[in-house]
């Protein structure tokens, strides 16, 4: 789906525009809450039972790497699913061994383009009888998946996955197009998601504690206030702030905020 996305019916468009409006009202420090809100509303739009978000970045590749250096350092799941989490861990481990499933290879192979794909758009009919489909979809309680990938720049993409439960019908083409429409119009939020995890311009991904300090910086808290909120000493918090500035290549809070406002890349 690199061509124009068909507009959904007026009533569905109104629902999507309301989602965009609410999403824009979230404070910059509430990215995790905004993500959960968006995932929940997307599930409602296309009758999905679960959703994930994956921040994907382009790292140094190695000879024979089937995905040319693309890696998923961050995965955020809407609803806890132990089987799904186990399968994600297994696939990430296999990725480092050069063992990659065909669904990932086909999505990554179209990197650089906005795209929305159902499993049936990516894989032939016989694949649904494979052990991989059984082990990594059916055994996790998933009948079907719908993926949307949004390229932010040549080295970073934002992925959303929506999942239908066993016993449900597969996603229809119209539902794929609805999800594509909903996610195509919020580049600012895809960018904010990657920024909040240090995956867009940071030299290395942010740790969980660094993300908490970053959220304090984005809400205008002083370093003393952040330290109190996190139960840290002022010195420790100051060191975290310095590390965050260094990772993002900025010298002060104003420059950091400019990244969120899209004034620099």
Give me the mean pLDDT over the 144-166 stretch. Answer: 95
* The pLDDT value given to residue 202: 63
Per residue in 112-124, pLDDT (tens digit) is 999 999 999 999 9
Same domain, 161 and 226: no
* The pLDDT value given to residue 3: 61
* The pLDDT value given to residue 75: 93
Domain that residue 239 falls in:
208-260
Q: Which residues on adjacent β-strands are paired with residue 77?
A: 52
Strands 50-58 and 70-77, how do they pair? antiparallel
* The pLDDT value given to residue 20: 98
User: Whole-angstrom distance between the N-terminal and C-terminal Cα of the chain?
Assistant: 27
Q: 52 vs 38, 85, 149, 209, CA distance in Å?
A: 11, 11, 12, 22
Same domain, 65 and 179: yes
* The pLDDT value given to residue 265: 39
Same domain, 128 and 255: no
Determine, yes or no, domain membership for 203.
no
Question: In 10 A of CB 222, how many CB atoms?
Answer: 12
The answer on pLDDT for 60 being more than 70 is: no
Determine, yes or no, domain membership for 20.
yes
In whole angstroms, give the CA distance from residue 47 to residue 43. Answer: 5
- Tell me which of 153, 186, 219 is where a domain ends: 186
Give me the mean pLDDT over the 8-23 stretch. Answer: 97
Same domain, 32 and 81: yes
Same domain, 182 and 236: no
Same domain, 243 and 175: no
- Tell me which of 129, 153, 186 is where a domain ends: 186
Same domain, 133 and 251: no
Determine, yes or no, domain membership for 194.
no
Determine, yes or no, domain membership for 4.
no
Residue 153: closest CA among 115, 187, 177: 187
Same domain, 180 and 229: no
**Confidence label for 251 from pLDDT (cuts 50, 70 and 90):** confident
Determine, yes or no, domain membership for 125.
yes
Length, in residues, of the chain: 265
260 contacts 215 by C-beta, under 8 angstroms: no
The answer on pLDDT for 165 being more than 50 is: yes
The answer on pLDDT for 199 being more than 70 is: yes
The answer on pLDDT for 158 being more than 50 is: yes
**Confidence label for 235 from pLDDT (cuts 50, 70 and 90):** very high
DSSP assignment string, 119-139: HHHHS-GGGGGSHHHHHHTGG
Determine, yes or no, domain membership for 111.
yes
**Confidence label for 261 from pLDDT (cuts 50, 70 and 90):** low
Same domain, 249 and 162: no
Give me the mean pLDDT over the 215-230 stretch. Answer: 89
Same domain, 148 and 178: yes
Find the DSSP H helices in the chain: 10-25, 31-46, 82-96, 102-108, 119-122, 131-136, 173-184, 187-196, 208-218, 223-230, 234-248, 253-260
Give me the mean pLDDT over the 49-53 stretch. Answer: 97
In whole angstroms, give the CA distance from residue 118 to residue 197. Answer: 27
Residue 211: closest CA among 55, 30, 24, 23: 30
* pLDDT above 70: percentage of residues in the chain: 95
Number of domains in the chain: 2
Determine, yes or no, domain membership for 193.
no
Residue where the block lists tokens 């918090």:
237
- Tell me which of 152, 186, 220 is where a domain ends: 186
141 contacts 77 by C-beta, under 8 angstroms: no
CATH number of the domain within which 114 lies = 3.30.450.80
Determine, yes or no, domain membership for 167.
yes
The listed range with the strongest mean pLDDT (120-129, 212-221, 226-235) is: 120-129
CATH number of the domain within which 256 lies = 1.10.10.10
**Confidence label for 1 from pLDDT (cuts 50, 70 and 90):** very low
Per residue in 69-81, pLDDT (tens digit) is 898 988 999 999 9
Mean residue pLDDT across the chain: 90
Same domain, 116 and 42: yes
**H or E element, residue 182:** helix 173-184
Same domain, 120 and 87: yes
């Amino acid at each position: 789906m690199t061509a124009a996305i068909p507009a959904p019916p007026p009533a569905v468009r109104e629902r999507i525009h309301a989602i965009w409006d609410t999403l824009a009202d979230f404070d910059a420090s509430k990215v995790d809450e905004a993500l959960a809100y968006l995932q929940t509303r997307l599930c409602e739009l296309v009758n999905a039972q679960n959703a994930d978000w994956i921040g994907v970045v382009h790292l140094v590749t190695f000879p024979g790497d089937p995905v040319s250096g693309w890696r998923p350092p961050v995965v955020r799941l809407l609803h806890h699913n132990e089987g799904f989490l186990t399968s994600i861990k297994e696939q990430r481990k296999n990725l480092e061994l050069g063992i990659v499933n065909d669904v990932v290879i086909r999505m990554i192979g179209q990197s650089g383009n906005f795209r929305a794909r159902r499993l049936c758009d990516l894989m032939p009919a016989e694949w649904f009888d494979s052990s991989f489909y059984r082990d990594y979809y059916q055994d996790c309680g998933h009948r079907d998946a719908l993926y949307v990938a949004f390229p932010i720049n040549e080295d970073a993409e934002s992925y959303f996955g929506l999942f239908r439960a066993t016993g449900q019908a597969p996603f229809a083409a119209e539902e794929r197009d609805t999800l594509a429409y909903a996610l195509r119009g919020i580049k600012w939020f895809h960018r904010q998601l990657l920024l909040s995890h240090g995956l867009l311009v940071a030299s290395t991904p942010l740790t969980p504690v660094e993300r908490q300090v970053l959220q304090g910086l984005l809400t205008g808290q002083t370093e003393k206030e952040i330290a109190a909120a996190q139960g840290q000493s002022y010195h420790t918090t100051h060191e975290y702030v310095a590390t965050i500035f260094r990772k993002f290549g900025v010298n002060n809070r104003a420059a950091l905020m400019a990244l969120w406002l899209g004034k620099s890349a």
